[in-house]
């Protein structure tokens, strides 16, 4: 079974109604990045940051996976699929994808302020207990914080994502500006002989010398077109 690796960004979740950070009208226009997406902002005003992510978390049960998420999951019928996502929502999992690497953390998880990447400190939140409050403690006694990789922090899953990318027989990029590193550099690891498909309605800066086919459509419409192409490959 061929290895299919799919890198997804905000454009995938936007079709489910989750507002993006970078586009016009996105979350960054309402909040300074430095205030809600850096460790310095968190240390300066932890309540502001906790409230910001509590609000994001409360939105999750109100949205559903889009057709694009469902089509990505359906490809597991024909391929060994790994999804590498820059998104912190759980829509890929809810759509049925079984192997998902979250580069930037997971909104439905909380962790230790002192040791955020220690697996023993990470807890999964549920719909009945979604908020993190000042005074909520991790197992090590430090304040619980969102399990989110903020700007300037190390990306603990990047090495695994690079290794998976280097094994891809087919590589697909959906709904990402390829502006955020190190995630944007993953296309550099794709083998030269492996076909690459880019699904995005906009022109995307492409720093890799790897040839690619650009499907200029949104995530769901683009995945409809790509699925038909990939079925033919799977049947060969």
Query: Token pair for residue 3?
Result: 């290895």
- Cα 97 from Cα 115, distance rounded (Å): 29
Residues annotated as part of the active site: 104
- Cα 183 from Cα 64, distance rounded (Å): 25
Query: Token pair for residue 89?
Result: 């929502």
Residue 103, classed as helix, strand or coil, is coil
- Cα 222 from Cα 71, distance rounded (Å): 10
Other C-beta atoms closer than 10 Å to the C-beta of 136 total 14
Are 130 and 55 spatial neighbours (Cβ–Cβ below 8 Å)? no
Which residue has tokens 């302020």?
113
Which residue has tokens 């995938």?
12
Other C-beta atoms closer than 10 Å to the C-beta of 115 total 15
Strand ranges across the sheet with 123-124: 123-124, 105-112, 144-148
């Amino acid at each position: 079974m061929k290895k299919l690796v799919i890198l997804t960004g905000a454009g995938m979740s936007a079709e489910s109604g989750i507002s993006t950070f970078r586009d016009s009208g996105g979350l960054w226009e309402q909040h300074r990045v430095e205030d809600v997406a850096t460790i310095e902002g968190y240390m300066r005003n932890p309540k502001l940051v906790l409230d910001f992510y509590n609000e994001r978390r409360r939105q999750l049960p109100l949205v559903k996976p889009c057709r694009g998420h469902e089509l990505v999951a359906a490809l597991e019928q024909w391929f060994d699929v790994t999804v590498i996502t820059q998104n912190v929502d759980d829509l890929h999992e809810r759509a049925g994808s079984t192997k998902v690497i979250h580069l930037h953390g997971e909104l439905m998880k909380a962790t230790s302020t002192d040791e955020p990447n220690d697996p023993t400190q990470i807890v999964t939140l549920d719909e009945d207990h979604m908020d993190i409050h000042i005074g909520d403690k991790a197992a090590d006694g430090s304040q619980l914080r969102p399990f989110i990789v903020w700007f300037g922090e190390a990306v603990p899953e990047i090495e695994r994502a690079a290794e998976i990318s280097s094994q891809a027989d087919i590589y697909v990029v959906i709904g990402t500006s390829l502006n955020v590193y190190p995630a944007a550099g993953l296309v550099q690891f794709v083998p030269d002989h492996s076909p690459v498909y880019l699904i995005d309605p906009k022109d995307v800066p492409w720093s890799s010398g790897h040839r690619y086919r650009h499907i200029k459509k949104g995530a769901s419409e683009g995945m409809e077109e790509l699925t038909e192409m990939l079925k033919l490959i799977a049947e060969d």
